[in-house]
Structure 1
């Protein structure tokens, strides 16, 4: 029998830059006065779509030949129309760019793929209208959003953020370009760590932000100042190699992703502790080591880190008892209805999966051969690829290339790290 000498010696995973940080930093750099260097950005379908949308808005973007640095030059104000912006599949582009455009002048027409059009945008449109923007969404499905911009005044706003935190992030990032302070009372916020990330990056670019214990966030006008930023590895993407370590009994380190991370999804490593994995989070790196056995029998709220619930659900059949994830109702409004899609795929594998409006329970079982329906959703493809490490030859993906949305090199990296005998 072949043994793997690196079973307990940590392998170093090559995880690309954070999508969430890259796209927020692109927007903030575009809104800032001067030229910002973004180092180690994520180069993927979503971030390239976002960068292209910025150039359509008149923002200058230059890159080094190796794409290790993107230089974004902003004018310190909103853009000038008329122009049409294609958001492709990128939800962040559709939620972050309209508020930025509304602080400018002229007509801006936003459009995107059929998948993106199916995702809700009305809370953002309604919020922009309350701030004085002229917004139209009644184009018979021909566009996402049409804005006739003449700047935004700011003011008082109550925002329901129970569907997505991205509406709030988009409004907050545009606020320093408004004529008066913006104060938002937030209700039903999901994915709070992403708002913490947004506020930290806004402050990095010089914004003045105040928060109250009652959930009120106030941003004062004054614009942004260009400043360089090194993009840390993507914590959501790291969840797949961490989970793979847990189910194969191996040890994997992600450098550059540690206790000082801006990303809440690093908490997935702590969820893996519940399964029995050994986890070490240092200032500059995180290491997960599997024990060869996956422990179940617990219930975990993953509402704040919902992009990673599929990673846990996909490996849950290998546990010794059922695992329940709850607090994830908003995951039904992502690239797919992720709760339903994951449950159907698990059942296709012969695994018992029970779903509720905001939860999913996965029971132990031996996966049988099946073809996974990815629904053009990168996270479904990556999550079930991890389960495939313990069911070799039994799991195939109907759309393996959809991982290009956030990690074009995913399959090659998973193969590099784990192409060896798994723990029994």
Structure 2
């Protein structure tokens, strides 16, 4: 049963001055787990994200027979073994588990049953199930949860067409296991454009694992059959987790550094920094990490946020505090845009959902209860708004555990008592 935890978002006493570390990337951790399970030999994950979704992913792989040791928080070890059923995989509410593990299960011998929380059943899944069937898999389902994959230890693979408009995970799930298919896979997407950054990350990590991947044609991805080799994965900090902290610097006119960011990243960090600059911040990737400094004013923008879906709610919250209107184009599903708009409007914001994004006009905001709908993105947005608007209360901050189990403590520590500056901030965050 999910725990709901109401939380009063703290107001900033003044400009913030903080340096901190955020947990590892959920996207990278999930992909590294799947690639390790599909590789020969041993693999390690350094600085992985230990959170609800990644623990479910590790448990699902264990259920199918993969050795997964997570005893050391900072270094996980996986040793591939022949995968087999019968097994049961609990996807919880995790889209990555729901879409990345069924292609793994078709390579196992035996029945692998998938189920999860009621909300997971509303996630689009039929395109992936249809694609796996077209490639030779036997799946017993009504095109949603619960379903059972009857693995034969192999699958033919080959060309397949899929409408992945609902989520790029539908393509990534196929690609991550495709090297184990007899003929590999050639995936052709038909439908509305899908965000590229997560697919680019999938391709990058597949190549790092030794897969032959061709993504030179628009909306077509090809993975050659072959054996992947176990390797060491260094997991980057998570950009979606970093975003509200970086936004806090802009909103309060302070300075925040997210430590440990690599010079070359598989996540669109530079794009996020560019948007924050347009909104009035000084922002840079420095040897210390990602640094954002507010300059005393927040500007509205007209921007394309395609590929920044995981941080668009935080950017919309910043826009609601701006001194001029904003027009944000995104590739978010209409229902998610409507939920974000309704959440901001509940605090007085003037937000209009558009077919391809949001329009936001500056008006005074007020306190109130912000409904998170179990979405960590909305919780992050509420925390950012609370810095400038007293009296904001989240109906559930526990949903942030999906990617950042320690979010309430990290956020409150950042906000309070940092007169001593960034060095003290980082020390206090580490001490807890």
TM-score, length-normalised on structure 1?
0.91
1:85 matched to 2:89? The reply is: yes
Shift of 1:3: 8.8
Among 98, 103, 110, the residue aligned to 1:99: 103
Mapped contact 1:258–1:284 kept (Cα < 8 A): no
Q: Is the 8 A contact 1:326 1:358 kept in 2?
A: yes
Q: Alpha carbons of 1:131 and 1:231: their partners in 2 closer, same or farther (altered >3 Å)?
A: same
Q: In structure 2, what is the Cα distance between the partners aligned to 1:329 and 1:193?
A: 14
Following superposition, the deviation at residue 413 of structure 1 comes to 1.0
Query: Of the candidates 349, 358, 368, which is equivalent to residue 366 of structure 2?
Result: 368
Secondary structure of residue in 2 paired with 1:252: strand
Q: In the alignment, which of 377, 394, 398 is matched to residue 397 of structure 1?
A: 394
Which runs of 5 or more structure 2 residues have no equivalent in the other structure?
Answer: 1-11, 420-432
Given that 2:209 and 2:229 are in contact with CA atoms closer than 8 Å, whether structure 1 keeps it comes out as yes
Deviations 1:107-148 (A, max 9, x none): 111111111111110110111111011123228x7x332212
Whether 1:32 aligns to 2:78 is no
Asked if 1:318 corresponds to 2:321, the answer is yes
- Bigger shift: residues 208-217 or 11-20: 208-217
1:116 is aligned to 120
Residues 77-122 of structure 1: CA distance to partner in whole angstroms, max 9, x if unpaired? Answer: 6x21121111111110000000111122221111111111111101
Match of 2:80 in 1: 74
Q: Give, in whole Å, the separation in 1 of the partners of 2:116 and 2:306.
A: 27
Pairing 1:51–2:58 present: yes
Partner Cα distance (1:388, 1:396) in 2? 8
The answer as to whether partners of 1:235 and 1:266 remain within 8 angstroms in 2 is no
Checking the alignment, whether the CA contact within 8 Å between 2:13 and 2:416 is kept in structure 1 is no
- Unaligned stretches of 5+ in structure 1? none
Deviation at 1:379, TM superposition (A): 1.2
Work out whether 1:12 is the aligned partner of 2:12.
no
User: What is the deviation of 1:157?
Assistant: 1.5
Q: Relative CO higher for 1 or 2, CA cutoff 8 Å, sep ≥ 6? A: 2
CA distance in 1, matches of 2:246, 2:103: 36
| Contact 1:236/1:266 (<8 A) preserved | no
CA-CA distance at 1:265 after TM superposition: 5.2
SS in 1 for 2:211: coil
Cα distance change on mapping 1:232 and 1:284 into 2, 3 Å: farther
When structure 1 is superposed on structure 2, of 39-48 and 258-267 the one drifting more is 258-267
Correspondence 1:147-162 to 2 at 5 A: 147-150=149-152, 151-162=154-165
| Contact 1:260 1:283 survives alignment (8 Å) | no
Root-mean-square deviation (CA, aligned residues, Å) is 2.1
| Distance (Å, rounded) in 2 between the aligned partners of 1:216 and 1:382 | 34
- Residue pair 1:235, 1:257 contacting (<8 A) in 2 also: no
User: TM-score, length-normalised on structure 2?
Assistant: 0.89
Q: What secondary structure does 2:237 align onto?
A: coil
Contact 2:13–2:415 at 8 Å: present in 1 too?
no
Of 66, 69, 91, which aligns to 1:62? 69
Q: Secondary structure at the match of 2:77?
A: strand
